[in-house]
Structure 1
Amino acid sequence: MTEVIKIVNDIKSKNYKPIYFLCGEETYYIDRISDLIEKSVLTEDEKSFNQVVLYGRDTTVEEIVSTAKRFPMMADYQVVIVKEAQNLSKTFEKFESYAVNPQLTTILVFAYRDKPDGRKKIFKTIKDKGVWFESKKLYDNQVPDWIVKVLKGQNYGIEPKAAAMLAEFLGTDLAKINNELEKLKIVFPEGHIFTPKNIEENIGFSKDYNVFELKSALATRNQQKAYAIIHNFAANPKDNPIVVVSGQMFAFFAQLLQYHGLKDKSKFNAAKALGVNPFFMDEYATASKNYPMRKVSQIIEIIRDMDVKSKGVGSGSMKEADMLKELVYKIFN
């Protein structure tokens, strides 16, 4: 995120580079930086003659180079943006001669929505002459902290549980998460601290029947609550696909196994080791008392077995809802 801030600040300060190569599997920052250049470098009057948007599937390296070599008309710069540039991957090395000596009055932006082989000569040249930015996907456990940081930069706050709920409900798609945050900001004034209730009421996420609460019920051995959640999942299978539920449960018990193995189980050390917010460490401490290490190992095997069954191996005619009920039963017994 520090790298993104520097790129954005340089653009806002008009400290432009002749080439911006924005790549990676996480498209959120690729789009944000590309959009910032598209909207802010030129005035509306200058854009008519000096801003060109091309698409990788409809253009060639030769056309891009020819366009980039033009001089701006009645402006200091021209902007050439190549979207979906990954479609040019097979011929991209032809761009080498331009990259070695780019037109300094052109700002050439490649939005390459994939991970290229950065060892190739062309990409090393781009790194030397311009901005190379690789946008990497966040791990599941990194998303809540990302939400906290984004909102803090926008003068909002969010409770740890609310951030975890958002991350669990929306996954690791940062663009999707950002869209939901923008909706929340319309409803609540600057300075507001978002709560789990805000998330439930404005994003359609049930605070009582979700994987987050299921993990909590399992950790505290609250069987009544766990079975109530499972019954709700069974009634709404499309909203709670078994692959997501089993994946989250596997991640929780794998972290619990890791917690058992820690010598220093102090809250902040354990949180750092497990990659979770310290707010949730009391839950892990409780779970470790309810599930000894040997039992946790057995549970992990049970979840793996159910995951195989959910993919049609050895499950017979067993329904997903019954698989989940059986899984919870075996965890408690």
Structure 2
Amino acid sequence: MVLESWRKIKQNHIAPIYLLYGTEAFLINETKQLLLNQILNEEEKEFNLAVYDLEETPVEVAVEDAETYPFLGERKVIILHNPVFLTAEKSKEKVEHNLSRLEAYIKEPAPYSIMVLSAPYEKLDERKKITKELKRNAEIIEAKKLNEKELMSFIHNRVKINGMEIDEAAIEQLMALVGTNLFMISSEIEKLTLYAAESGRIDVNLVDKLVARSLEQNIFTLIDKVVNRKLDEALRIYYDLLKQNEEPIKILALLAGQFRLIYQVKDLSRRGYGQQQIAGILKTHPFRVKLALGQASKFTDEELSYLINQLAEADYHMKSGSMNKSLLIEMLLFKLKK
């Protein structure tokens, strides 16, 4: 797990070779930054940090650099971006890599160099010899999307690093408002810790007061207001979105997407699938599934079918220009209330 790997790095348990792979860019970036800060000071970074894009540079050039003694320091860091040869994909650039040179280095890495391969791919090609060598000899860190439990742990640890505590209710509210984007979550945590400097604790009231709502969250809240027959509050959210220059067609697309998700999770849940299984089938985050399941219980299948048809009809009128876009969504919200 990424968080466990971060703990080891902070304790200065540094491996000679790291393979960071996965689609969660935030975790890959944070891991690289953590390694750099742990290994090199600011002055050393100028001389003993090298970064290579393997879609442009042969890997043997990076290996030769890793085998060269560091300048004005004891260690050096070599970062290799886009090692597409670890996947089944074909490189866009016609760069020939001497992989046998890299394989030999992996077996006997230089004691003064830390090599970091940054692979922003969902999967590695396990059949390839180079992948097998890395699996045997490197520290592997998979930067995958965090599940709900891992995300809560991430938020708690992030706050703790700043010398503060956060209530569990505040964590859940932060996730509900921001979603699962780690860049946005981290940005909001920085803001919250500044405001909570005196008390040393972040509670749900502070989260409600300070955290910016994403467009997706505003749509979720808007639907929630409609579900609970609070049309005036739903319209207020919609008018606020228009004041923020959000396009009606984008709002409509998000409404349609949320109702499709509600319909799908309701159907899959009825067929016996659990939250994690549904998330896998629909290729969405389990936390989104959890929220959609809560809303699904408030609709019958017939109501959802009717609403999805109304959304499709509104989409047609909006794209054909036959009706005023803003008015279309107002009319739609009145229909959703029925």
The one of 32, 38, 49 aligned to 1:52: 49
Residue 328 of structure 1 aligns with which residue? Answer: 333
The one of 142, 160, 171 aligned to 1:134: 142
Residue 111 of structure 2 aligns with which residue? Answer: 104
SS in 1 for 2:5: helix
SS in 2 for 1:176: helix
Distance 2:325 2:125 in 1: 43
Shift of 1:247: 2.6
Q: AA paired with 1:52?
A: L
SS in 2 for 1:210: helix
Distance 1:47 1:271 in 2: 42
Distance 1:92 1:307 in 2: 53
Residue 241 of structure 2 aligns with which residue? Answer: 233
What is the TM-score normalised by the length of structure 1?
A: 0.73
Residue 184 of structure 2 aligns with which residue? Answer: 176
Shift of 1:65: 0.8
Distance 1:76 1:69 in 2: 13
Residue 299 of structure 1 aligns with which residue? Answer: 307
Residue 206 of structure 2 aligns with which residue? Answer: 198
Distance 2:232 2:300 in 1: 21
Distance 1:108 1:15 in 2: 14
Unaligned stretches of 5+ residues in structure 1: none
Deviations along 1:66-98, one digit per CA (max 9) or x if unpaired, are 11112346755332223x435887355633343
Cα gap change, 1:249/1:15 in structure 2, threshold over 3 Å: closer, same or farther? same
Q: AA paired with 1:194?
A: D
Deviations along 1:257-277, one digit per CA (max 9) or x if unpaired, are 556x3889xxxx989989559
Cα gap change, 1:318/1:222 in structure 2, threshold over 3 Å: closer, same or farther? same
State whether residues 77 and 107 of structure 1, in contact with CA within 8 Å, keep that contact through their aligned partners in structure 2: yes
Percent sequence identity is: 23
Distance 2:214 2:195 in 1: 19
Distance 2:314 2:29 in 1: 35
Distance 2:277 2:121 in 1: 30
What is the TM-score normalised by the length of structure 2?
A: 0.72
State whether residues 23 and 111 of structure 1, in contact with CA within 8 Å, keep that contact through their aligned partners in structure 2: yes
Distance 1:307 1:104 in 2: 64
Distance 1:198 1:126 in 2: 45
Shift of 1:191: 4.0
Unaligned stretches of 5+ residues in structure 2: 280-285
State whether residues 147 and 163 of structure 1, in contact with CA within 8 Å, keep that contact through their aligned partners in structure 2: no
The one of 248, 260, 276 aligned to 2:258: 248
Q: AA paired with 1:321?
A: S
Cα gap change, 1:132/1:295 in structure 2, threshold over 3 Å: closer, same or farther? same
Shift of 1:128: 1.2
What's the RMSD between the two structures over aligned residues?
4.2
Counting matched residue pairs gives 314
Q: AA paired with 2:118?
A: A
Shift of 1:184: 1.5
Distance 1:310 1:101 in 2: 65
Distance 1:124 1:271 in 2: 29
Shift of 1:151: 4.9
SS in 1 for 2:221: helix
